[in-house]
Amino acid sequence: MRRLEPFPAGEANFGFQIAPMIDVVFVIMLFFMVMAGAVKVERELNTKLPGTAETSGPMDFVDEIIINISIAGEVTLNDEPMDTPASKDLPQLRNTLLRLKQGSDAAKTPVMVTIVSEGEARYHRTVDVLDALAVAQIENVTFTVSEEE
């Protein structure tokens, strides 16, 4: 009988071992099977998308009033010139806003005003317009800066 001598250190070649690979595959498969039970199923969300709405009566749409302030200090109300650039009190604008406020109060509709100011317009002119809005007791005011074309 021939005696087999052990391989010298570092020269052992055991070939491709499939058993450890099968163990790893089973562990990964077990992980995915366990995690599959923890997956939450998406539920249907009951949301209403914007579209046509049914109303019981006529709807009132609010007209937006746009006040423009130019670099030169000119004030326009819906593209209609108001007062002079030198006028600090803006009496024409103030009277027009008072009439608009009275009309909207009678119709029970809110007044919405947008102040569109040019980027280089004087700040004190915007304050003059705000003073006129305060006299007319108009509270729904938004600001924006005109975009250059």
Residue 125's domain is classified under what CATH number? 3.30.420.270
Structural domain boundaries enclosing 121: 64-145
Q: Is residue 27 part of a domain?
A: no
Q: Is residue 24 part of a domain?
A: no
Q: Is residue 110 part of a domain?
A: yes
Q: Is residue 23 part of a domain?
A: no
pLDDT at 38 over 90: no
Q: Is residue 137 part of a domain?
A: yes
Q: Is residue 131 part of a domain?
A: yes
Residue 140 has phi, psi (to 5 degrees) of: -85, 90
- Over the range 15-38, which residues count as b (16 or more CB within 10 Å of their CB) and which as e? eeeeeeeeeeeeeeeeeeeeeeee
Nearest to 121 by CA among 84, 75, 73, 76: 73
Q: Is residue 86 part of a domain?
A: yes
Number of domains in the chain: 1
Res. 30 pLDDT band, cuts 50 70 90: very high
Q: Is residue 95 part of a domain?
A: yes
Q: Is 106 helix (H, G, I), strand (E, B) or coil?
A: helix
Over residues 73-111, the pLDDT tens digits come to 889 888 888 888 888 888 888 899 888 888 888 888 888
Higher pLDDT, 48 or 140: 140
pLDDT at 119 over 90: no
pTM of the complete model? 0.56
